[in-house]
Amino acid sequence: MSNQRRLFVASSVALVATAMSFAIRGDIMGDFERLIGLSKTDVGWIAGAAFWGFGFSILVGGPLCDLLGMGTLLRLAAIGHIGGTLLTIAASSFAVLFVATLTIGIANGLVEAAVNPLVSTIYSRDKTRRLVALHAWFPGGIVIGGVLSFLFTQIGHNMPALAPYTGWQAKMVLLLVPSAMYAAMFAGQSFPPTERAAAGVPFADMFREIARPSFLFLWVCMWLTAATELGPGQWVSNIFNDVMHSSAQAGILVLVWVNGIMYLMRQFLGNAAHRVSPSALIASTAVAAAAGLFLLGAARDPFTAFAAAALFAAGVAFWWPTMLGITSERFPRGGALLLAIIGATGSFSTAIAGPVMGWINERYGADHVLAIWAALPAALTIVFTGLYLSDRLRGGYRVERLEKLKSEV
């Protein structure tokens, strides 16, 4: 495919836009809390709004990949990113901010709904590694958005004359850059049919795959992996600033640190899921994730906090793309629909995690939130160890190929 590389790069830039919205929103929530008078729970609902929009649009967008085409979804996503950003800048109330954040979330979901089957299709023989490389740009985008947000904050503090140009509105304007870039990169490109459609598997067969017990088990697991990986991301900056009493508002750097490690691991250690079973990979790394969250919650100085955050980052680095990889490799008949369901589930889980963590913050204090949340990866250690042992009894982890299935249609 002549435009294969361009489609992959454009997909990566689209994920950068998605991630920058995540990072910038996490950094400016304190501004909304002060300027609009939001409670901690309100902040949690605003943070969750992006994930509700994300989840619903992935869920709807998955089947639409076949009906409308992946290119149409990605163009609609660019419109949503640009429109949602401008609406956020104009927001002056909880309701407007919620709608604006929801709009960006819908755009994020359309990106996820399209790029996962797109990359699975154009790299059908190398799915998991390519999905890991693609999703390296989610933490990569958080690093970009986080560093720029921190720099804008410091410029505003140290150069008062520039403060009006480096506030939360200016940070949101940054999101327009990758949004315009990926819109331009996808313009005029031809998009392939999804792998399922190209193999001749009937559209209705996608829906039959949902009822498979092994997929339902994976679906339940996604609730826990996503809440562990992405739930703390909406709160870690706020929690760090509260616990450490950071006058420089350096909490965003913890988020940058976590996602920088995740980016490097996904970009350069992407073959890890092929060296061990994906279920063994998640089972073993969940131990590090649990320990990292517990220690981060107990940290009382920046050095300890950053060390614990590194342990947590190493633990969750491969989870999201590995869950997508398992879905695509073990349920290829499910096509874009099953990838959409798994992505939507991760988004809904994170949306629920936002207000729950806000409630824990208000009830028990900022210093207890992450330690309590560490129970999730502890449970995942047990769950995925059981899955690994179950696979071993059946001869090990197996990848299903649509080329083999095509003859059954």
| pLDDT at residue number 249 | 59
Task: Judge whether residue 187 has pLDDT over 70.
Answer: yes
Task: Judge whether residue 169 has pLDDT over 80.
Answer: yes
| pLDDT at residue number 404 | 47
Instruction: Identify the residue with better confidence: 203 or 160.
Output: 160
Determine which of 185-189, 195-199, 380-384 has the lowest per-residue pLDDT on average. 195-199
Residue with tokens 């480096």: 166
Q: Six-digit token pair at 282? A: 């998640």
Q: How buried is residue 394: exposed, middle or buried, by Cβ count under 10 Å (0-12/13-18/19+)? A: exposed
pTM of the model: 0.80
Are residues 118 and 70 in contact, defined by beta-carbon separation less than 8 angstroms?
A: yes
Kindly state the percentage of the chain with pLDDT values over 90: 39
Task: Judge whether residue 405 has pLDDT over 50.
Answer: no
Are residues 336 and 62 in contact, defined by beta-carbon separation less than 8 angstroms?
A: yes
**Residue 234 pLDDT grade (very low, low, confident, very high; cuts 50, 70, 90):** low
For the residues 236-258, what does the mean pLDDT come to? 72
| pLDDT at residue number 274 | 64
Average pLDDT in the chain: 86
| Element spanning 136, H or E | none
Task: Judge whether residue 409 has pLDDT over 50.
Answer: no
Task: Judge whether residue 50 has pLDDT over 50.
Answer: yes
Sign of CA dihedral 401, 406, 407, 409: positive
Condensed to tens digits (0 to 9), the pLDDT of residues 270-312 reads: 776 667 888 999 999 999 999 999 998 888 888 888 999 999 9
Task: Judge whether residue 248 has pLDDT over 70.
Answer: no
Are residues 232 and 357 in contact, defined by beta-carbon separation less than 8 angstroms?
A: yes
Condensed to tens digits (0 to 9), the pLDDT of residues 188-220 reads: 898 988 777 777 778 788 888 999 999 999 999
Determine which of 196-200, 207-211, 254-258, 327-331 has the lowest per-residue pLDDT on average. 196-200
Condensed to tens digits (0 to 9), the pLDDT of residues 111-147 reads: 998 998 899 888 877 777 788 889 999 999 989 998 8
Helix H, strand E, coil C: the string for 269-280 is: CCCHHHHCCHHH
Interatomic CA distance for residues 394 and 391, integer angstroms: 5
For the residues 178-191, what does the mean pLDDT come to? 94
Task: Judge whether residue 21 has pLDDT over 50.
Answer: yes
| Element spanning 312, H or E | helix 302-316
Task: Judge whether residue 360 has pLDDT over 80.
Answer: yes
| pLDDT at residue number 407 | 43
Interatomic CA distance for residues 75 and 10, integer angstroms: 12
Ranges of H-type helices in 247-364: 251-268, 272-275, 278-298, 302-316, 319-330, 335-364
Interatomic CA distance for residues 328 and 213, integer angstroms: 16
- Find all residues with CB under 8 Å of 358, minimum gap 6, and list them: 40, 41, 43, 44, 45, 47, 235
Condensed to tens digits (0 to 9), the pLDDT of residues 26-49 reads: 778 778 777 777 777 777 788 778
**Residue 245 pLDDT grade (very low, low, confident, very high; cuts 50, 70, 90):** low
Instruction: Identify the residue with better confidence: 379 or 193.
Output: 379
Q: CA 197 → CA 235, 337, 349, distances in Å?
A: 40, 12, 29
| pLDDT at residue number 294 | 94
